[in-house]
Structure 1
Amino acid sequence: MELKRVVVTGLGALTPIGNTKDAYWEGLISGKSGAAPITYYDTEKFKTKFACELKDFEVTDFIDRKEARKMDKFAQYAMVAADEAIADAKLNLDEVNKLRVGVIWGAGIGGLETFQQEVLNFAAGDGTPRFNPFFIPKMIADIAPANISIKYGFMGPNYTTVSACASSANAMFDALNMIRLGHCDVIVTGGSEAAVTIAGMGGFNAMHALSTRNESPETASRPFDGTRDGFVLGEGAGALVLEEYEYAKARGAKIYAEFVGGGLSSDAYHMTAPHPDGIGVVSVMKNCLENAGLKAEDVDHINTHGTSTPLGDVAELKAISEIFGEHAKKININSTKSMTGHLLGAAGAIEAISVILAMEHGIVPPTINHSTVDENIDPELNLTLNKAQKRDVKVAMSNTFGFGGHNACVLFKKID
């Protein structure tokens, strides 16, 4: 069957460097770091005392206080980003067939703070099981798209994909295919995460996954740098409105880009470590290009997974060199996690938004905090170091990889 074309018509972002998609973009191109000392709890006994928290965010500016209390932060963030994306798309909610509008979301963990707090409350009590009646619905990862659909009455497919840090890219690919196959006209997709908590930071510290550069948080996320020592945890959400091309054109929607393909793969190697030869990463990028019907030399820009871990960064760049060959040296490669930190399940969404806006504005955001060469990285690769670079981006790719060896890749193209 002939697949339908899919386009992006709305964007919403809630990030550590900007609380709207426009503020996020300004933060990206200016090379702003979102890392700072943690304010949510006492970090005295923690190995890592900083993260990329949201700034100047008050949920009751967006959601009624009574309703907000029924949601974990990750679901609150989802609502805020989705609201912005839906408004940006200028959907006429009275005319859209809500049976053909879905919400497919990504979250790697879900309501971690809710789970943490309920357990702490129980442990501090006398053993009587007194739990918040909203404990379970606040915690479950699928509640974010449920809340979005309930607010707007969207009655199409509604679920959450959980594939660790690949979750929201996984969700976007599912959404792409739902529309391609003719099951939906519109899908709100993306991801959210709120893991800057005692349990989240403590758990990642126990794995030795986080940077411990406490003396200089703003420079701690340093992808591709020879002195990188782990990732910086972030939080927030990203949302995209996807539409079938003819449907969007008929209603006169602004089209940011065409969503032309995606890919999924597994490393099948280790619980947390990437495959040292990048086999799964090579496979997912190859799958993505084939799915989009494009060649390696068509790609102008790649926003890498680039978390700032010693093993992961090198493995990914080796995989890019293998797939793209000599053309790899002509691609603007970057890692926006150098600014936002790692938003886990929401990473794919906000990084897809970054490449889409790079296409719109003709600017590739930088990889900040680079000062020391890593001899294991090809010096001829353009890693867009420290300053944004002007570039006519016609085709852009975004990579996200998760614990368990989950790999997801999405590809966008300027609309013809």
Structure 2
Amino acid sequence: SFMRTGMEMLDPELELEQEPSMPSAHVANMFDVRGPNLNCLTACAASSQAVGEASELIRSGRVDAMIAGGAHSMIHPFGLTGFSLLTALSTNNENPSGASRPFDRLRDGFVLGEGSSVVILEELEHAKKRGATIYGEVLGYGCTADAYRITDIHPEGRGAIGCMSASLQDAQLSPDAVGYVNAHGTSTSVNDKVETVACKAVFGERAGQVPISSTKSMMGHLIAAAGVTEMIVCLMTIRNGVIPPTINLENPDPLCDLDYVPNQPREADVRVALNNSFGFGGQNVTLALGRYR
């Protein structure tokens, strides 16, 4: 029976390694970090929420610095099968380099990527005192729930509008201050259309003048690691003055009619960027990021 033979075959630490808290526990052990240890299990918004919550802890004065990030490895039969059953993945297998095409009329789903990104967040004076290289500032954090369907973004973009607006309010910034948006931009029919609606609601008449791009067109969708990876893209955009493109944008969609920086990078003086992360279950996070002055 399983009770006699199956249990003998199992690694006794297997159950512990499946706990969601294990990645951050390993990091804490590796670097002897003894502060708050939090885990954000909010699907594709998880690592952006980790950055937001870590920033809040620093703002509160409870800690001077936090390690924040995310990791995900979904290129596995289980992950691929699950997303395929949800009809979320592109089926353009004959042209894999062109399969991820956010905001394009012929988009048919996202391409799975995998990886990990981590940032060190610090209170400003703490970072200056140790001579740290400062890549930018977390200016604001917005977090909302769609309260709609587990698999679909709200069709009017109410959660996306709410978290974008909340991040600007938290940063005490006008929408006019934003020079770039790193879109969630998954290359699914619904997300890209609704994210366009949300950007129009937040930026109003200026929506068509704000450069928006989806780096998932080049990296695929890193799921829980996507948000913090794209945050780093925003910081590099602000620091280097180059906006990354949305590649494979070849067939205009009348429902996605904003400036998505098609196919070629663009030089620009960006001082404030928004990073959008929207997850299954209606989890929404926007980070407002700024140039360090």
Q: What TM-score, normalized by structure 2, do the two folds share?
A: 0.97
Q: Residue in 2 aligned with 1:349?
A: 228
Q: Residue in 1 aligned with 2:292?
A: 415
Question: What's the RMSD between the two structures over aligned residues?
Answer: 1.5
Q: What TM-score, normalized by structure 1, do the two folds share?
A: 0.69
Match of 2:134 among 243, 255, 264: 255
Q: Residue in 2 aligned with 1:198?
A: 77
Is 1:146–1:159's contact at 8 Å kept on the other side of the alignment?
Answer: no
* Amino acid across the alignment from 1:230: G
Once residues 176 and 245 of structure 2 are traced to their aligned partners in structure 1, the CA distance between those partners, rounded to angstroms, is: 22
Once residues 208 and 382 of structure 1 are traced to their aligned partners in structure 2, the CA distance between those partners, rounded to angstroms, is: 27
Q: Residue in 1 aligned with 2:157?
A: 278
Structure 1 residue 308: Cα displacement: 0.2
Structure 1 residue 142: Cα displacement: 1.2
Q: Residue in 1 aligned with 2:247?
A: 368
Once residues 384 and 139 of structure 1 are traced to their aligned partners in structure 2, the CA distance between those partners, rounded to angstroms, is: 40
Residues 1:128 and 2:1 aligned together: no
Match of 1:396 among 259, 263, 273: 273
Q: Secondary structure at the match of 1:252?
A: coil
Cα displacement string for residues 217-256 of structure 1 (whole angstroms, at most 9, x for unaligned residues): 1100000000000011110011000000011112221111
How do 1:3-402 and structure 2 match up within 5 A?
A: 128-129=6-7, 130-378=9-257, 381-402=258-279
* Amino acid across the alignment from 1:347: A
Structure 1 residue 139: Cα displacement: 1.8
* Amino acid across the alignment from 2:225: A
Structure 1 residue 159: Cα displacement: 2.1
Cα displacement string for residues 142-201 of structure 1 (whole angstroms, at most 9, x for unaligned residues): 111111110110100012110110000111000000000001111010100011111100
Q: Residue 127 and residue 225 in structure 1: after superposition, are their counterparts in 2 closer, same or farther (change >3 A)? A: farther
Once residues 203 and 132 of structure 1 are traced to their aligned partners in structure 2, the CA distance between those partners, rounded to angstroms, is: 26
* Amino acid across the alignment from 1:323: V
Once residues 178 and 272 of structure 1 are traced to their aligned partners in structure 2, the CA distance between those partners, rounded to angstroms, is: 31
- In structure 2, stretches of 5+ residues that fail to align are none
* Amino acid across the alignment from 2:110: F
Structure 1 residue 127: Cα displacement: 6.3
Q: Secondary structure at the match of 1:264?
A: strand
* Amino acid across the alignment from 1:190: G
Q: Residue in 2 aligned with 1:57?
A: none
Structure 1 residue 341: Cα displacement: 0.5
Once residues 236 and 136 of structure 1 are traced to their aligned partners in structure 2, the CA distance between those partners, rounded to angstroms, is: 23
Identity %: 40
Once residues 414 and 328 of structure 1 are traced to their aligned partners in structure 2, the CA distance between those partners, rounded to angstroms, is: 22
